[in-house]
Structure 1
Amino acid sequence: MPSSVSISLVIYVWITTIIIINHASTTVAKPQSSSLAQELKALNQTHWWWYEKITSSPCKWDGIVCNDGGSVIEININNTEYHPQLYLSDFNFSSFPNLVRFKLAGICLYGRIPPEIGSVSKLTHLNLSWSSLSGELPLSLAKLTQLEKLDISFNQMSGPIPLELGNLRSLVELYLGGNYFNGTIPSTLGLLTCLTYLDLHSNQINGTIPSELYNLKNLMALHFDNNNLFGPISSKIGNLKNVVSLSLSHNLLIGPLPHTLGCLTNLTLLSLDSNQISGPIPLEIGNMRKLRLLDLHNNILTGLIPSTLGNLTKLDFLNLGVNNLVGEIPPYVGHLTNLRYLDIHSNQINGSINSTMRDLQSMQKLDLSNNSISGILPHELTQLTRLEYLNLSLNKLSGEILPNIDNLSSLSVLDLSHNNLSGSIPIQLRNCRILGQLFLSYNRFSGTVPPEVFYPYNLTIVDLSHNSFSGTIPPEVFYSYNLTIVDLSHNSFSGNIPLELGYCKNFGHLDLSFNTLTGHIPSTFFFQCQINLSYNYLEGHIPDGFWGYNTLTSVMGNKNLCSDHIPGIPHCSTWIKKFSNLIKIILAPVILGFLLLGVGIVFLSRRKVIRNNQNECKATRNGNLFSIWNYDGNIAFEDIIIATEDFDIKYCIGTGGYGSVYKATLPSGKVIALKKLHRLEAQEPAFDKSFRNEAKVLSEVHPRLSPHINQTIAQNVVLVVTLALACLRSNPKSRPTMKHVSQEILVRKPPLLKPFYEISMWELMNQEVFGDPSSVGAVDKAIHTGKTTLALTNYLKGVDY
């Protein structure tokens, strides 16, 4: 009996236990199932996973991690291809009670951070960086007491940093940089004793650095750069013994560098540049032996470069530029063998470049510009074979460029401008194949520019201005397709502008001003750039495309340039017209003289025989130097002069109402009678009428007498004389051109169709041969009074006798 009671009791207890367990599990499963359904619904409402099946388990979706119970504990979206634009307000934070990590960095996240974010009490990591969030930080963030990392950097957040962030005692990393936060740094951040990274860089924060922050002994990185912080750097900064990276650059900090900086022996990065820090560099800075980057440039530091810098043998980057440091470059700089970047520009450093710099074999950038460094370029510089950037401009260096400059085969920028360097450019520079920028301006270089200088294909900028270079511009300067800026101004370059300039299509600026260039502006120019050709000796028409990117000052100082479109520059049509008129005035008599000579030769070639023994014309008393024809074409005027002994009175056989009659015995034995007319008588109308009457009578006498001149010959004489007189008109516009003269001779149309004896001198001088009679005008006085006119008059009026 007892045994059966015991068995019954055991069975009862077992059944009761099963019922209780089943009831309990049912009670728990219903709420858990309801929570998962809420999470699924909330995720679907965001439409961030529109490509997924809405009925599937979210634990299988991209970027979602669940716990063993199927609840979402992590959301990590970093693929913008499937999420082009997200709004944080679409996410219902209250539906995710188990969410631990929420990471939406680097995607297009818009809107404000909703206050509901404070309901995710288990959240440890919140990363919303590199998005487009705006507005202020919600105060509800202070409820996330388990938060270890908060990153909202590089957004468009604004407003002050809430004091309530001091409640996040578990916070290890705080990144709020790259926003528009303003106000001061809350002192409550000093309560975050677990903090190792504090980054507030690139905001609009002002005020001083709270002293409470110097109690964060676990701090490893403190970045407050690019803000408006002011005041001195506290000596308490030495308390941050674990700090590795300290950046306070680009603020308004003042005062000296505290000596306690030497206590930061774990520092690898110290950036205090672009402030107003003054005083000397403390010697204690040499205690930071782990330092790899030291940037103190753009301050008001004074004194010498401390010798203890030589202890920083791990230093990779050293920038002391734009200060008031004095003295020479210390020789112990050569101990910094790991140094790749050295910048001491814009100080008051003097002396020469130390030869110990040859040991800086890792050097890639060296900038010693804008100091008072003197002496020659040391050969040791060419041993820095890894050097990519060398700037020694604005110093007092002298001598020549090192001939073995080509050892710097990695050089991309060479700036030696504003020194006293002289000599020529070494052709070895061509071996610097990747050279992109060359600055040699404001020196004393001379001679021609070797074409090899421009062989490097990567050249983009060449500045050789303000030197004494001469010769022609080498065409090779324009062979580099990458050239954008070329300045050859203020030299003594001569010759024409190379046509190869048209090869350069990427020019942004070309300056050839203040040289002695000549010739025309090539029409091959690609004028989509600024070109300065002022103060040369260029001439001719300015191409129309020149004015797209240039102004009048680009060509000023070239007196012989012209353009038909730009005010302030002589018009080419006016300039050409003036030049043409000048040519006519100066050269017309010479050209016409040769023309008449040619006409005379052609005319005389039609004569039957010309005496071979006549080589020279003797001068006569009245200046006649040409030959005439008698009735048979064989009597030369010289024969008449000889036969009458230059019209001696003993050969005069009578005088009439017009002229004097002479008897002459020619070499052929013929005896002829000549009438010599006087110049004054030719100007009287009465005598002119008497002359024509006599000529008419003689033309009708008995044929046994000597025949008068052939009418065709007479008409040719009239044509030649008429052309000669027309070419001597006082108005240049009325003078015939060479083309007109040649046409008249070819046509041989006599200008006057009268009998020879009816033509007067007035008609010959005023005959319209080539057009507008109003343009004929008066003949120069020299025509009426000169000896040539007398000779022609004598010939025309005396040839019939």
Structure 2
Amino acid sequence: MNNLTSLINLQLSDNNFTGHLPPQICQTGTPVTFVAANNHFKGPMPKSLKNCTRLYRVRLDENQLTGDIAEDFNIYPKNYIDLSGNNLYGELSSKWGQCHNLTSLKISNKKISGKIPLELGEATRLGVLDLSSNHLIGKIPKELGRLKSLLKILLNDNQLSGTIPSEIGRLFYLTHFSLAVNDLSGSIPKELGEWSRLLFLNLSRNILNGSIPSTIGSMQSLQSLDVSHNLLVGKIPQQLGGMKMLETLNLSHNNLSGSIPFSFDKSASLTSIDISYNELEGPIPNIKAFHNASIAALQNNKGLCGNATGLKACPKTIPNHRLKRSNRFLVVILPSLLGTLFIICIIVAISLILCRKVRKIEDKLIEAQNHNLFAIWSYDGKMVYENIIEAAEEFDSKYCIGVGSYGSVYKVELRASQVVAVKKLHLLPNEYEAHNSDFGIARLLKPDSSNWTSLASTYGYMALELAYTMEINEKCDVFSFGVLALEIIMGKHPGDLISSLLSSTFTTCDMLLKDMLDQRLSLPINRVTREVLSIVKIAISCLHIVPQSRPTMQQVSQKLSTQKPHLLNSLFTIKLEEVVDLGGSTV
């Protein structure tokens, strides 16, 4: 390898290589990418790695490499590093904070000691921080709250102490947060409730005290919550029962008291619970997660009852003190309630008599209005919107009759006494996360048919020809699929790219394919690169300016399912012009 003076990309991962890494692997300082993960390399880091000042991406995880991470690995890649699963030791350097473009730092399952550097808060593009299963001590730096791009923080299985800094609550994009198996104390910050995208939260096996913040119930995306083996007290917040995505809940080995909130009766997504070793009492919620729970998950509480293994049945009779209270309530309230109902009946009867005289005249007007109602609406969308807003009082919650995953349904009575159901969709939230609720029109129609309708779709996703043909068919959905597929690949709406593809000059033809991908994620390797390239080609073919030249969804499905050929070029050299046919076969 001494003769490879122009080596840029070296990938040795997922093999059974043994022995030592080549000592002169970076003698010339040219490598940009060095990947040797999932092998059996052992011994120290090559000394020549210190010369690799241009390193962009390093993956040496899951080997048996040894040495002091601060001395033997004195390099700081610009984008991605994973050294997990080796036998390295030493302390983390403050120089990691100088890597302002670093997106992923993974150094877990090692013997790393010392404190987490405060300077790490200066690596503002960091998306993944995994320092789990080490020997780190000291406090969690509040400076981590500056890392607004963080998606994952994994600091579990260390010896961290102090409190959880409230500044962490500013990391609104977090999906995974684990501080389990440490020596953290104090209360759980209420600011954590701001994490609306969080999927997994694990604070177990610490010495946290105080109560569980009710703001935790605001994490509507949370799937797993574990605060077991702490010193938490108080009642279980009823807001936890309203978490619609929660699947696993572990509150065991604390000092929680009171009864389990009735709000858990609607927790249909909950599949696994553990509330053992607390001071809870009263009936368990009437859902499968509690009924199918093991004895170990419910044991050692003050007095739980209900339909579960190991629990006694709840009493069917009403206690005497509750019965007496109910009798006093009836004696005081019932007479006044009957009197009020009598007065209301008289008022209603008088109103009916008066309204009957007016109704005959109104019926004629209503009949005429009903006859032309939807004909007028078809030509005046603004009037439709204003009528609905006025009748629904700005979509007041009292008119809401149902809530779904993508919107709410309201019962609205229009001026012509026409009662309609109006669905208010949430297609494009602030994070610009598109939903597919208006891209399935074509599958409701016959395969070769088309529909004429008013333009009612999501701008930015609908086919270009809809603006002048108003004709909805399968090719419209194919175009929308292409836009959505590119949005997932790019991490943003591809509006600028589509506009450039439409341009006769095609100004983005020299763009590298890797620069088009979501910059928050690490670049794909091996088989994933082929899949990404295939998806980009298919998505762009769906954007053909001529609808008849677009593939069908069946053809798209077949292309996505076929095996992809090996790439002849590296992802670092593939240009967008190689994906797009400049002769006009795409957009």
Q: Which residue of 1 aligns with 2:571?
A: none
1:441 pairs with 2:180: yes
Q: Which residue of 1 aligns with 2:81?
A: 342
Q: Secondary structure of 2:229's partner?
A: coil
Alpha-carbon distance between aligned partners in 2 of 1:547 and 1:306, rounded to the nearest angstrom: 53
Q: Which residue of 2 aligns with 1:403?
A: 142
Runs of 4+ in 1 over 6 A off after TM superposition: none
Alpha-carbon distance between aligned partners in 2 of 1:476 and 1:573, rounded to the nearest angstrom: 33
Cα deviation, 1:424-449, whole Å, max 9, x if unaligned, reads 01111122221221100000001111
Q: Which residue of 1 aligns with 2:44?
A: 304
Cα deviation, 1:278-313, whole Å, max 9, x if unaligned, reads 222121211464422211122222222122112223
User: Which residue, 284, 287, 303 being the options, matches 1:542?
Assistant: 284
Alpha-carbon distance between aligned partners in 2 of 1:427 and 1:540, rounded to the nearest angstrom: 34
Alpha-carbon distance between aligned partners in 1 of 2:222 and 2:238, rounded to the nearest angstrom: 16
Q: Secondary structure of 2:287's partner?
A: helix
Amino acid at match of 2:25: I
Q: CA deviation at 1:346?
A: 1.4
User: Which residue, 134, 158, 161 being the options, matches 1:419?
Assistant: 158
Q: CA deviation at 1:546?
A: 4.5
Q: Which residue of 2 aligns with 1:746?
A: none
Alpha-carbon distance between aligned partners in 1 of 2:74 and 2:20, rounded to the nearest angstrom: 22
Q: CA deviation at 1:485?
A: 1.1
Contact 1:441 1:466 in 2 (8 A): yes
The 5 Å alignment of 1:454-465 reads: 454-465=193-204
Q: Which residue of 1 aligns with 2:323?
A: none
Q: Which residue of 2 aligns with 1:514?
A: 253
Contact 1:297 1:319 in 2 (8 A): yes
1:568 pairs with 2:310: yes
Q: CA deviation at 1:403?
A: 1.9
Gap change, CA 1:502 and 1:311, over 3 Å in 2:
same
Gap change, CA 1:466 and 1:287, over 3 Å in 2:
same
1:531 pairs with 2:289: no
Alpha-carbon distance between aligned partners in 2 of 1:433 and 1:307, rounded to the nearest angstrom: 40
The 5 Å alignment of 1:283-682 reads: 283-287=23-27, 289-331=29-71, 335-336=75-76, 339-525=78-264, 526-529=267-270, 530-547=272-289, 550-552=292-294, 553-563=296-306, 565-573=307-315
Q: Secondary structure of 1:276's partner?
A: coil
1:280 pairs with 2:23: no
Alpha-carbon distance between aligned partners in 2 of 1:347 and 1:284, rounded to the nearest angstrom: 21
Q: CA deviation at 1:554?
A: 2.8
Where does the alignment leave 5 or more consecutive residues of structure 2 unmatched?
321-587
Cα deviation, 1:559-618, whole Å, max 9, x if unaligned, reads 51111x3343111139x89x99xxxxxxxxxxxxxxxxxxxxxxxxxxxxxxxxxxxxxx
Contact 1:410 1:434 in 2 (8 A): yes
Contact 2:70 2:92 in 1 (8 A): no
Contact 1:333 1:356 in 2 (8 A): no
Q: CA deviation at 1:332?
A: 7.7
Q: CA deviation at 1:334?
A: 5.6
Q: Which residue of 2 aligns with 1:169?
A: none
Q: Secondary structure of 1:510's partner?
A: strand
Amino acid at match of 1:453: L
Contact 2:273 2:290 in 1 (8 A): no
Contact 1:345 1:370 in 2 (8 A): yes
Alpha-carbon distance between aligned partners in 2 of 1:336 and 1:403, rounded to the nearest angstrom: 23
Amino acid at match of 2:95: T
Q: Secondary structure of 2:256's partner?
A: strand
Gap change, CA 1:492 and 1:401, over 3 Å in 2:
same
- Which structure has the larger Rg over C-alpha atoms? 1
Gap change, CA 1:479 and 1:410, over 3 Å in 2:
same
Alpha-carbon distance between aligned partners in 1 of 2:309 and 2:74, rounded to the nearest angstrom: 62
Q: Secondary structure of 1:445's partner?
A: strand
The 5 Å alignment of 1:191-206 reads: none
Alpha-carbon distance between aligned partners in 1 of 2:5 and 2:273, rounded to the nearest angstrom: 56
Q: CA deviation at 1:495?
A: 0.9
Contact 1:305 1:330 in 2 (8 A): no
Q: Which residue of 2 aligns with 1:784?
A: none
Contact 1:513 1:536 in 2 (8 A): yes
Contact 1:312 1:336 in 2 (8 A): no
Where does the alignment leave 5 or more consecutive residues of structure 1 unmatched?
1-260, 581-801
Q: CA deviation at 1:473?
A: 0.4
Alpha-carbon distance between aligned partners in 2 of 1:369 and 1:392, rounded to the nearest angstrom: 5
Alpha-carbon distance between aligned partners in 2 of 1:432 and 1:542, rounded to the nearest angstrom: 35
Q: CA deviation at 1:265?
A: 3.3
- State the TM-score, normalizing by the size of structure 1: 0.38
Alpha-carbon distance between aligned partners in 2 of 1:536 and 1:548, rounded to the nearest angstrom: 16
C-alpha root-mean-square deviation of aligned residues, in Å?
2.4
Q: Which residue of 2 aligns with 1:787?
A: none
Contact 1:438 1:462 in 2 (8 A): yes
Cα deviation, 1:688-707, whole Å, max 9, x if unaligned, reads xxxxxxxxxxxxxxxxxxxx
Structure with higher RCO (Cα < 8 A, 6+ apart): 2
Q: CA deviation at 1:361?
A: 2.1
Alpha-carbon distance between aligned partners in 2 of 1:550 and 1:531, rounded to the nearest angstrom: 9
The 5 Å alignment of 1:647-726 reads: none
Alpha-carbon distance between aligned partners in 2 of 1:544 and 1:568, rounded to the nearest angstrom: 16
Q: Which residue of 2 aligns with 1:62?
A: none
Give me the identity figure in percent: 34
- State the TM-score, normalizing by the size of structure 2: 0.51
Q: Which residue of 2 aligns with 1:218?
A: none
Contact 1:331 1:356 in 2 (8 A): no
Alpha-carbon distance between aligned partners in 2 of 1:420 and 1:548, rounded to the nearest angstrom: 34
Cα deviation, 1:233-280, whole Å, max 9, x if unaligned, reads xxxxxxxxxxxxxxxxxxxxxxxxxxxx33333433222223332222
Alpha-carbon distance between aligned partners in 2 of 1:304 and 1:298, rounded to the nearest angstrom: 16
Cα deviation, 1:158-209, whole Å, max 9, x if unaligned, reads xxxxxxxxxxxxxxxxxxxxxxxxxxxxxxxxxxxxxxxxxxxxxxxxxxxx
Q: Which residue of 2 aligns with 1:708?
A: none
Q: CA deviation at 1:478?
A: 1.4
Alpha-carbon distance between aligned partners in 1 of 2:67 and 2:47, rounded to the nearest angstrom: 12
Amino acid at match of 1:292: V
Contact 1:290 1:314 in 2 (8 A): yes
Q: Secondary structure of 1:303's partner?
A: strand
Alpha-carbon distance between aligned partners in 1 of 2:314 and 2:17, rounded to the nearest angstrom: 63
